[in-house]
Structure 1
Amino acid sequence: MTGLRYERADARSAGLDGRRVLVTGGSRGVGRAVVLSMARAGAHVVSCHRQPGPAVDSLRKELGATPGDHCLVRADVRQDDDVRDLIDECRGRLGGLDVVVNNVGAFAPAPYAELSRAEWDATVDGNLTSAHLVTQGALPLLSAGSSVINVGSTVASIGMSGGAHYTAAKAALVGFTRSLARELGPAGIRVNVISPGRIDTEAMDDLPPEIAARQRALFASFSALGRLGGADEVARVALFLASPAAGYVTGQNIHVDGCV
């Protein structure tokens, strides 16, 4: 069975029919896989992107061919006004939310000695503050049985040269998640983190072929499974956390990294 067929089989059995989902940063990579998996599982999906382009156009086309009420919104979730407009779109279009996936992330490697305040702030805003703004804004739309899923990174546990700002933000996301799980648990709202390892996404395809091949081989060697992960493999964990099957799972950091 192909990976695509396997993904769609998982999606159909996920128990998300009619669920209302917001996924930030859904036009590429893991976010795109989550958007399409949720939609194929029967959910109604709103997603956002910062800039228009071919990836957004192709995602809109795929969602248009998928049953459900789906919408793509241009929004920078680091900005209060954009988050307010995004949440208003969810309220007006869907009437509420059952699942929030904070997938937006930002990273530009920099040696720590040369790391500027602007680079630090941009990374923290893109990986941590954005999740705070979206989650806090979405709270009035969530009710018992809802699920908040934050996308972290396995490097928060193992560290990364040239990524002190990124690993700090992703590690803080774990603490943010665990505190919210305790605070929102009495209302029946679950909050978890998915921490992917090296995932084979379009970012690899953007590199020159010989460099991409070397990086794939290098990163695959770090994994106990001897390969990179697929975006659909991360999306399947998001499907689980969004579903009733994960009804007693909260405050957890689930690594999808092939054991690095």
Structure 2
Amino acid sequence: MDLQLAGKKALVTGGTRGIGRAVVLSLARAGAQVVTCYRQEGEAVERLTRELKEIGGDHAVVKADVGRREGVEQLLGAVRDRFDSLDVLVNNAGVISHIPFAELPVEEWERVIATNLTGPFMVIGKALPLLRSGSSVINVGSRGAMAGIPLRSHYTASKAGLVGLTRSLCKELGGKGIRFNVVAPGVIDTSEPDELSEEQRAQYNERYLRMMALGRFGRPEEIAGAVLFLASDLSSYVNGETLHVDGGV
């Protein structure tokens, strides 16, 4: 089935690793022109840049921290330099930490909220003049926003806020033909093979695999598939929804 994304102009925040990387590459392979961003230089940035060149097309990988106002300004400036409109906006950039609530510093709460919730607010606001009838905004949330996750109250709150923001914007801006939806991943295996020891991997599997009806973790490409659906006209009447992609938690 043709997603009809050829020539579409897309912005994906946090696109060099994990889910973001899969989304960027999937959009590019579907024919979209993609701008994405990163915070820190490294091999992941270089690898994505190489892969986008191999795919071909007008793509850009920009250094910008969307948790900061100046980073959002820098990113949207790069988008405006390339595109006169945006068809797809994917707010994927996010941070996480694991801290008991009684020990959670205000500074860490503010850091997580700034990137995961205030960041999308700022990006959407600055991108609004580029969005038009038919544009699709997809916010990457979390299954944890509904379930709640111990040691991640700040992260969970930020993702729950993203659902509320999405619902409000779908009603406020739906009349302009702009759609807003959330993709909420479950447990997705985004780690590199050598990031966890065998003991850590066994503990991780024991904790989470028993929750999965499908008996396995998700893959970043499976989240990208949901994003492609919401980016395409196949979902032209889907607005304000949270699509859980969690394997049946």
Match of 1:200? Answer: 189
Match of 1:64? Answer: 53
Q: Over aligned residues, Cα RMSD in angstroms? A: 1.2
- Aligned residues of 2:8 and 2:31 also touching (Cα < 8 A): yes
What is the correspondence of 1:92-171 to structure 2 with a 5 Å cutoff?
A: 92-171=81-160
> Shift in Å at residue 82 of structure 1?
1.5
Match of 1:227? Answer: 216
Gaps of 5+ in 2: none
CA distance in 1, matches of 2:220, 2:194: 14
TM-score (norm 1): 0.93
> Greater CA deviation, 82-91 or 151-160?
82-91
- Name the amino acid aligned to 2:106: R
Three-state SS of the structure 2 residue aligned to 1:200 is coil
CA distance in 2, matches of 1:241, 1:134: 19
> Shift in Å at residue 67 of structure 1?
2.2
- Aligned residues of 1:28 and 1:202 also touching (Cα < 8 A): no
Match of 1:88? Answer: 77
CA distance in 1, matches of 2:244, 2:39: 27
Match of 1:178? Answer: 167
- The alignment covers a number of residue pairs equal to 249
CA distance in 2, matches of 1:79, 1:244: 32
Three-state SS of the structure 2 residue aligned to 1:65 is helix
CA distance in 1, matches of 2:191, 2:32: 25
> Greater CA deviation, 90-99 or 14-23?
90-99
- Aligned residues of 2:68 and 2:114 also touching (Cα < 8 A): no
CA distance in 2, matches of 1:217, 1:239: 31
- Name the amino acid aligned to 1:246: S
Gaps of 5+ in 1: 1-9
CA distance in 2, matches of 1:96, 1:116: 40
Match of 2:37? Answer: 48
- Name the amino acid aligned to 1:218: R
Three-state SS of the structure 2 residue aligned to 1:78 is coil
- Name the amino acid aligned to 2:22: A
- Aligned residues of 2:11 and 2:88 also touching (Cα < 8 A): yes
The runs of at least 4 aligned residues of structure 1 exceeding 6 Å deviation read: none
> Shift in Å at residue 24 of structure 1?
0.3
| Alignment partner of 1:187 is 2:193 | no
Task: Render the CA deviation track for 1:203-254: whole Å, top value 9, x for unaligned.
Answer: 6741223312431343222111110001000000000000011100010000
Structure-2 change in CA distance of 1:34 and 1:63 (3 Å): same
